[in-house]
Structure 1
Amino acid sequence: MPAYIIVDIDVTNAATYEEYKKLTPGSLQPYNGKFIVRGGAVSPLEGDWSPTRIVVLEFPTMEQAKAWWSSDEYAPAKALRQSASSSRMIAVEGFEG
């Protein structure tokens, strides 16, 4: 079953965050992850949630999603992201219908 990592990001250091964006794609490959959403325009429809940057990643399984997040491949990029932004991140199982 597919799994998704959904991230709500508030960038606090744009230059460092740009470096993060360069490192992340290569870290996804060993876990068969891919970007579904990568910071596109946001249009709130209900409630008071007004994120500035949303990222959605897709993985074949929850195990691969969690393995990527805690991987050595992602660690350098993760450190950059954490130093250049504040984030709220979840992993959620997808639906196979």
Structure 2
Amino acid sequence: MTACAIAHLRDHPGPPPDVVAYLERIQDTLDPYSGRFLVHGGPMEVREGEWPGSMVMMIEFPGMDEARAWYDSGAHQEILPLRTDHIDGTVVLVEGVGPDHHPSRRIDALRRAAGA
């Protein structure tokens, strides 16, 4: 089952040189884990609620093991401060769903967890 790394990055005045260096090097850290960008910035529309930030990044991996291994890898940890020292944000790893996923299965799981 696929997994994604999702980043919600807050506003920043412009890309500092370190962030440019991070962007130039990140793909090399993804390649060993078959990571690929699904979303990397671009126009967005807020349809509900507030969105305190400007950048969204979503990277797909074959599974959670690869997503964790990428994030924790020496290559990624080496370049990570180039971004985190200049841009505030939140990054999460989340497991995806298969092609046969149906929303009712999630409801059933929530009911079982609640003891209903």
**Under a length normalisation based on structure 1, what TM-score does the superposition of the two structures give?**
0.92
- Structure 2 runs not aligned, ≥5 long: 101-116
Aligned to 1:5: 5
Q: Whose strand fraction is larger, Structure 1's or Structure 2's? A: 1
- In structure 1, distance between residues paired with 2:80 and 2:53: 20
After superposition, where does 1:1-97 map in structure 2 within 5 Å? 1-10=1-10, 11=12, 14-15=15-16, 16-96=18-98, 97=100
- In structure 1, distance between residues paired with 2:8 and 2:55: 6
Q: How far apart are residue 76 of structure 1 and its match? A: 2.1
**Under a length normalisation based on structure 2, what TM-score does the superposition of the two structures give?**
0.78
- In structure 2, distance between residues paired with 1:12 and 1:2: 34
Larger Rg: 2
How well do the aligned residues superpose, as a CA RMSD in angstroms? 1.4
Aligned residue type for 2:86: A
User: What whole-Å deviation, never above 9, does each CA across 1:23-68 have from its counterpart, x for those lacking one?
Assistant: 1011000011000001111210101124300000000010110110
* Identity fraction in percent: 29
Q: Whose helix fraction is larger, Structure 1's or Structure 2's? A: 2
Q: How far apart are residue 85 of structure 1 and its match? A: 0.7
Write out the 4+ residue segments of structure 1 that deviate beyond 6 Å after TM superposition.
none
- In structure 2, distance between residues paired with 1:21 and 1:35: 12
